Amino acid sequence: MKVQPSQKMSLFSPAIFGDLKNYANIQKAKGTELIDLSLGSPDIPPAPMLRQTLSELASLEESYGYTLTGVQAFNEAVSRYYERVNGVDLDPKTEVVQTMGSQEGLVHLPIAFCDPGDIVLTTNPAYVAYDAGISLAGATPYYMPLTKENNYLPDLNAVPEEVAQKAKLLILNLPGNPVPAMPSIEYFTKVVSFAKKYNIIVLHDAAYSEFYFTGDAPISFLATPGAKDVGLEINSLSKSFSLAGTRIAYIVGNAEIVNIIKQLKSNLDFGIFEPIQLTAVKALDHAEEITANLRSTFASRHKTLMEGLSSIGWEVAPSNGGMFVWAKYPYDMDCKDFTFTAIEQAGVIMVPGTAFGTAGQGYVRLALVQESTTLARAVEKLSKLTI
């Protein structure tokens, strides 16, 4: 039998993570100590109250039916969370929709609003799921570079008029992956004005909104005056509550847009396991207690890695939050080749910048998923590279 993939599959090249893991395993077999800073998967377990809640609910006989659009208690918990943390009022019935993790929401959302040939404004570099969703919808990406000169924020003024006129969707991620630039109310105000002028839907990926280490929390896009007129915010419980494997997230914002997403999702799935939803309710209602511990831990890691890399001559993108460090290494070498060399010589696993877009050449992304002492050891190992 000859198996032929669809033409659309040509748009989805294998992720770099598998190649990194395979090469790392080869070096491990040779006795190399590995420090994995590649995947942004939380290494801190969920709070005990969450593990207990999930365990108790999963043991109930009545917990195993379809949940379809989700339990109302989850939507209400999201609404309470947004009011407490962001000062944003949400109608749980019309302005909240549940997704199976933010990845699912991000990949499927363009299908609901973009026709083939429509333009989606996204960044370079950017989280890989954005391109996947744009490709599935048959839309055309327009890449806005994230540069040091513009504080790693996309420059909306640089978008050509003819591109803006054709754009259907604008995707932002602040603080971001891989570049953890922080938003401001002034910047989001410009975004709202731009979106209204060109009738563009805004999707702000707020996956790292609880990862802030100095000063105030990152500003919710929906806290910006007029934001609900033009767009949405997506967030998950994967990072902030260490519930990555449970795959639960939500999209909030404009009621008309949310209703269209609900219509799409009614054709895609039958809802998330009810014990997971109710555990998420517990997490959201105890967010301040849970995320305070997370921020304390990651602030220490962030400081160790930022200062450590700078001390050995790396150029690190300034950041006060996020789950990653975006750094330019001091060698004239292709970033993919560099990451494999770093595994071979130092046992430190990082992601090459070009995995997130062409603008990532010369950079690597490092995840804050090891203890501070381990991160310090990683820096020491990287300082001894012979390139």
pLDDT tens column, 311-369: 999 999 999 999 999 999 999 999 999 999 999 999 999 999 999 999 999 999 999 99
pLDDT > 70: what percent of the chain?
A: 100
The pLDDT of residue 118 is 96
CA pair distance 273, 60, nearest whole angstrom: 12
**Regarding beta strands 231-236 and 201-205, do their DSSP bridges make them parallel or antiparallel, or are they unpaired?**
parallel
3-class secondary-structure state, position 65? coil
Q: pLDDT by residue (tens digit) across 201-226?
A: 999 999 999 999 987 788 999 999 99
Let me know the angle formed at the C-alpha of 325 by 104 and 135, rounded to the nearest 5 degrees.
30
Domains of the chain: 7-45+289-382 (3.90.1150.10), 48-287 (3.40.640.10)
What end-to-end distance do the CA atoms of the chain give, in Å?
A: 47
CA pair distance 285, 305, nearest whole angstrom: 32
Q: pLDDT by residue (tens digit) across 233-260?
A: 999 999 999 999 999 999 999 999 999 9
CA pair distance 136, 8, nearest whole angstrom: 8
Assign residue 377 a region (left: φ > 0; alpha: ψ between -120 and 50; beta: otherwise). Answer: alpha
Q: pLDDT by residue (tens digit) across 271-281?
A: 999 999 999 99
* pTM recorded for the entire structure: 0.95
pLDDT score of 229 more than 90: yes
CA pair distance 179, 317, nearest whole angstrom: 7
Q: pLDDT by residue (tens digit) across 129-152?
A: 999 999 999 999 999 999 999 999
